[in-house]
């Protein structure tokens, strides 16, 4: 309750924040680092996880983080571990050598993340978990969305799209088994769908590293094994959803509007407009990036950061002070909200075959 921002809706807050983030584009650029004028004594290093598991990291997190740090007047360096935990550790070491005083990571798995944090803290560097909680870690803060709610929205969304009284076979295609968020997404979805006796789970599998190619192979096997008798798919993000849709298309079974997603990517939103995807979950990454910049600034200034509560790290047996933001379910009739929030542009979304749907939905 301490944060004014969390009292507003996610979309409303994102709109307000978008105004605050305007008008500053010094630093950053192609090098992935920059400074907001050198007013602060510290420097923040951020290590994103990869470029493949979701387009969000490079297309959304990086630019929003750059804007947030520039706005906060904090020196920063943003890099990407390219899906390699060893590389993430090496980048962390380099950042510390080059003067980072706060290190934020999106871990690739909890064990490697915890090791990076332990090393950082031995060198007097504070750490923050960005988006994914590092189980057994030592981060000062955790910034994310309520990931159980993300899964609940997906479960409710699938039920709504299939019809809450329809009998259907459903399959779960979960995110990486190494990602604590994926565990929470699945738990949230199960908490909604398991009590609904009209739905029968016929398959469930986690996709290593959220790999989209593997997702297609896994889903194809599920589909074949079930003799094509799958009516709904709980896919954990838009990338996995797109892999499922490709297989359904190959079997002339796409278009039934029965696959979930997450991240509100252009591809995911277009799949919704085409009637191939039921819903996605929009998480205002602008808000998440701003929250990280605020906490990092507080750590640099030796102040206490404002949090919304704590999240339990069951492995370390501690409560991590956290900022948890609110995710929003997006169906065909509110795709426009994502454009109005300036997360994606109508220009990117409403290309070619999607132009008519955009006109129909008043997206311009």
Q: Could you list the residues that contact ligand BGC (CB under 6 A)?
A: 53-54, 56, 131-132, 175, 179, 181, 210, 237, 262-263
Nearest to 295 by CA among 179, 129, 48, 120: 129
* H, E, C per residue of 115-148: HHHHHHHHCCCEEEEECCCCCCCCCCEEEEECHH
- Provide DSSP, 226-249: TTT---EEEESSHHHHHHHHHHHH
Nearer to ligand BGC, 65 or 202 (CB): 65
Structure tokens at 196: 């609904």
HSE at residue 210, side-chain half, CA atoms within 13 A, is 28
The answer to whether residues 336 and 362 touch, using CB atoms and an 8 Å cutoff, is yes
Q: Is 239 left (phi over 0), alpha (psi -120 to 50) or beta?
A: alpha
Cβ 262 to ligand BGC shortest distance, Å: 6
Q: What is the DSSP letter of 259?
A: B
Cβ 180 to ligand BGC shortest distance, Å: 8
Nearer to ligand BGC, 13 or 182 (CB): 182
Nearer to ligand BGC, 42 or 113 (CB): 113
Cβ 313 to ligand BGC shortest distance, Å: 16
Nearest to 26 by CA among 65, 70, 74, 60: 70
Cβ 308 to ligand BGC shortest distance, Å: 17
Cβ 62 to ligand BGC shortest distance, Å: 13
Nearer to ligand BGC, 101 or 243 (CB): 243
Nearer to ligand BGC, 263 or 287 (CB): 263
Cβ 283 to ligand BGC shortest distance, Å: 6
Nearer to ligand BGC, 68 or 96 (CB): 68
């Amino acid at each position: 309750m301490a944060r004014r921002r969390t009292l507003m809706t996610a979309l409303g807050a994102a709109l307000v924040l978008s105004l605050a983030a305007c008008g500053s584009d010094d630093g950053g650029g192609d090098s992935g680092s920059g400074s907001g004028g050198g007013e602060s004594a510290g420097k923040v290093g951020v290590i994103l996880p990869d470029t493949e598991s979701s387009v969000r990291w490079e297309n959304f997190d990086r630019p929003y983080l750059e804007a947030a740090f520039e706005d906060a007047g904090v020196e920063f360096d943003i890099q990407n571990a390219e899906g390699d935990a060893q590389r993430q550790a090496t980048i962390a070491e380099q950042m510390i050598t080059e003067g980072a005083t706060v290190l934020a990571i999106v871990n690739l798995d909890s064990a490697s993340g915890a090791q990076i944090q332990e090393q950082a803290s031995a060198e007097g560097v504070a750490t923050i978990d960005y988006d994914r909680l590092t189980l057994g870690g030592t981060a000062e803060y955790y910034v994310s969305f309520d990931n159980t709610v993300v899964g609940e929205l997906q479960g409710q969304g699938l039920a709504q799209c299939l019809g809450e009284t329809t009998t259907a076979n459903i399959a779960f295609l979960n995110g990486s088994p190494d990602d604590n968020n994926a565990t929470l997404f699945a738990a949230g979805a199960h908490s909604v769908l398991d009590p609904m006796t009209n739905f029968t789970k016929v398959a469930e599998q986690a996709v290593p590293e959220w790999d989209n190619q593997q997702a297609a192979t896994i889903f194809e096997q599920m589909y074949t094994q079930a003799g094509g008798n799958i009516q709904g798919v709980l896919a954990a993000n838009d990338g996995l959803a797109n892999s499922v849709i490709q297989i359904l298309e190959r079997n002339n079974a796409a278009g039934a509007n029965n696959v979930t997603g997450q991240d509100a990517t252009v591809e995911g939103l277009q799949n919704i407009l085409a009637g191939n995807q039921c819903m996605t979950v929009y998480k205002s990454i602008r808000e998440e990036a701003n929250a990280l910049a605020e906490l990092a600034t507080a750590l640099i200034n030796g102040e206490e950061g404002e949090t919304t509560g704590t999240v339990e790290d069951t492995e370390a047996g501690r409560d991590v002070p956290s900022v948890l933001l609110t995710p929003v379910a997006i169906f065909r009739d509110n795709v426009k909200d994502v454009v109005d929030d300036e997360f994606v542009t109508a220009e990117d979304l409403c290309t070619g075959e999607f132009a008519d749907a955009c006109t129909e939905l008043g997206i311009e």
